A and B are shown apart, each in its own frame.
Chain A
């Protein structure tokens, strides 16, 4: 996704998903990352039920002041934010995209 044109074309899609609240319905911890994600590994990838839409995104920023419950991350309330997605190349455009973090 390092085509500047594609990044530009997807701005509206990203902007429309920003600041939305949701609940985690399944998750995994990716320990063997694909290319461009090694600097972030290991990281949780989660399925989130937003209002009227479901998305898959990386979960960032650990929940503060509490261990993850017996149900794991399932049921955790989250909110969508914008962060860097794939590690950019030295010269290319920086891709920003939607991730989720615990809601507090």
Chain B
């Protein structure tokens, strides 16, 4: 039995003041169903990835909420793992299919963040960290800033190299009609932006965004017809590390990423060098640097220089293009939606329908989704059918 993504769709990401979570969901799931060419009645279960609906909007029970809204009277679940909620929802869907209980399922990642004051959103996001971190007055930029500082102290990574990550992802975003930002950024502009948590500045940080993405998964047994636009999920792996940064073994890597990646490569029977494009979790510029190393694409301490030299930029890269969608920084980061959007991007790239941001010769794509400061990591690997 193999699991395929047969439909994928994403809404635009951005400050979507006039668009409600219900509308976002209808647009994303409706688009995915159309893309899959199946009727709603074919869907047997709904997995929803979301983090903040309860804390900010007072609405829990999102499985039932969206099943109701989408007219899908099927088993429905909300999966939450902070910013990894979307990736975890896909993983749960995969597990549901592998168990034999469901054959065709829909996964929706959705987040509405702009209804609330930025201060309240920042406080709610710290729900992804530990109580000790909340009582210390830490914020997410603060936690990743401490990781940045440790990386800079150990490997000499510079603030300019971090800024180059943001510049690259904004360049990719200019080619993505669904991205939140369509302005190019220079390293100087990033360096001049105001400090949020030293050494991270405003433009080192992904924005507050609204958006939704959806995929339709189905199991096909040997002999069953596979369409050319179907994309196979060859790996879906999750790993967990300590909730708080203070309890980690190392401050210069995310062990959860390393472990999830190791499991995923084994499931897919491939090595890092076999990956052609990746969507990684750049919630802050340092996170992409760490991801490049933890996913095995670069040796420890070597990624920042490579990224700054254009090694993973569309059009410049000889091998691996990273975050062609614009990543979290350029495309936007509606927290629960990101993990699903990453997979949608992989699908479009593997199908060859990514338009101006198409990476050439893509056979294997990797999506990397992280929760909190690295307590959860999800890695998916997709192949052309």
Contact = CB atoms under 8 A, between A and B. Distances in A.
B136 interface: yes
A65 interface: no
Contact of B135 (A40, A47, A97): A97
Interface in B144-181: 145-147, 149-150, 153
A33 B137 contact: yes
Interface string B100-137: 00000000000000000001101100100011111111
A54 B198 CA distance: 21
A56 B131 contact: no
A30 B137 contact: yes
A30 B135 contact: no
Interface residues of B, number: 35
B56 interface: no
A37 B131 CA distance: 15
Contact of A28 (B130, B132, B146): B146
| Interface SS of B by simple majority | helix
B137 A74 contact: no
A21 B180 CA distance: 46
Most buried by A among B136, B138, B194: B136
Contacts of B146: 26-28, 45, 47
A27 B119 contact: no
B149 A28 contact: yes
Contact of B137 (A43, A72, A98): A43
B137 A28 contact: no
A7 B89 CA distance: 35
B118 to A, nearest CB: 8
Interface of B: 119-120, 122-123, 126, 130-139, 141-142, 145-147, 149-150, 153, 194-200, 244-247, 251
